[in-house]
A and B are shown apart, each in its own frame.
Chain A
Amino acid sequence: MAQTFDCVKEGIKAAWPICLGYFPIGLSLGVLAQKGGLLPWQVGLMSIVVYAGGSQFIAVAMIGSGASIPAIVTTTFMVNLRHMLMSSALAVHFPGVSRRFLALFAYGLTDESFAVNMVRFNRGGWERRSALTLNQATNFTWFVSTVAGVYVGQFIPSGALGIDYALTGMFICLLVFQLRGPVFVATALMAAFCSVVAYLWLPGNAYVIVASTVAATAGFMLKRSLRHRGGRP
């Protein structure tokens, strides 16, 4: 079907900044995993089944230091709990969509795919099949780059062409797209502040959940109070 083909093409086109960013991170994960004694199939399997950059780095380090399975699994769970917020926020764009599609789509939910898909959905005209393609394309890139890292990672100079900054640059632009009014700007500033404070005070990456929940709630109350004042002078 020509239409499906177009959706796939759009999805891949939107995925490239993510893929560009995943590549160096995936390679370095592969290098670390190889140093930690993992075999290529083990790295590839983890990238497919777990598919979560942050927790894979932590897991590789924990495996290397001989941590227990329950300890690694608990840490992984905590690190990825933030996806609950993203999954909830995406739900409004999938009213009544089949469970099968959602189950497949959810697999590819990462910070990066969430950010790009959310911006595209808000802008309108973003096909679900394109969103799914984006998820799968980024997942594939992650798989390939982590496995490649095991073999060739150590030969690639770090920091080439500023590629380490690709995801930060992408996040900055996606944040700009999300600033759709003064309340959004206030929420973002609040989140940045809370995030830095929480990052310094809380262990692990609890800072993402704490800061975004606090900031969204504060922004929500700000919006309510502004509306209240506007409605009843």
Chain B
Amino acid sequence: MSATNYLLLIICMGVVTYLPRMLPLVTFSRRKLPSWFVEWLELIPPAILSALIAPTLFTQAAPRVFVLGKVELLAALPTLAFALKTRSLAGTVVVGMLCYWGLHYLM
């Protein structure tokens, strides 16, 4: 790919990644949203987080198949317990990393 084509590609990619990030924020922060919409939006963060994590824990990529007992899932159990008990973000990240690391060596 030539340098000019690469620049064109990057600019187009930049536009299509920036607009979905910017437009709703600018549009919705300037008007009073209906209460049902606000209530619905409140549920978006837990839904997105859960949707982002679940395939990492329960599936394998290429080919995509369901798996039970991945290291990621096993490490998630103590990590989740630690997060529920301590509610410490820093601690949870470190505990998660150590569990994952340790389990990798065991398995």
Contacts and interface: CB of A to CB of B under 8 A. Distances in A.
A111 B21 contact: no
Interface residues of B, number: 75
Interface of A: 16-17, 20-21, 42, 45-46, 49-52, 55, 59, 63, 69, 72-73, 76-77, 80-92, 94-97, 99, 102-103, 105-107, 109, 111, 114-115, 118-119, 122, 159, 161-166, 168-179, 183-184, 187-196, 199-200, 207-208, 211-213, 215-217, 219-220, 223
A190 B20 CA distance: 25
Contact of B58 (A109, A161, A196, A215): A196
B48 A86 contact: yes
Given A165-B101, A168-B57, A191-B51, 18 more contacts: A81-B20, A87-B21, A89-B45, A91-B29, A106-B25, A114-B45, A168-B53, A168-B75, A172-B96, A173-B83, A176-B84, A194-B51, A199-B54, A212-B47, A213-B47, A216-B41, A216-B43, A220-B43
Given A69-B8, A179-B46, A188-B46, A52 B17 contact: yes
8 contacts: A20-B93, A103-B26, A119-B45, A165-B72, A176-B80, A183-B43, A192-B51, A207-B55
A17 B88 CA distance: 12
A37 to B, nearest CB: 8
Interface of B: 1, 5-14, 16-18, 20-30, 33, 36, 38-59, 64-66, 72, 75-76, 79-80, 83-84, 87-90, 92-102, 104
Contact of A59 (B13, B55, B59, B76): B13
Contacts of A96: 29-30
Contacts of A177: 87, 89
A3 B54 CA distance: 40
Contacts, number: 282
Nearest to B84: A176
Contacts of B5: 69
A80 to B, nearest CB: 5
The 8 closest A-B pairs by CB, nearest first: A169-B96, A162-B101, A91-B28, A165-B100, A106-B22, A162-B97, A173-B92, A195-B51
A45 to B, nearest CB: 6
Contacts of A163: 97
B24 A87 contact: yes
Nearest to B42: A89
B29 A95 contact: yes
A163 B104 CA distance: 12
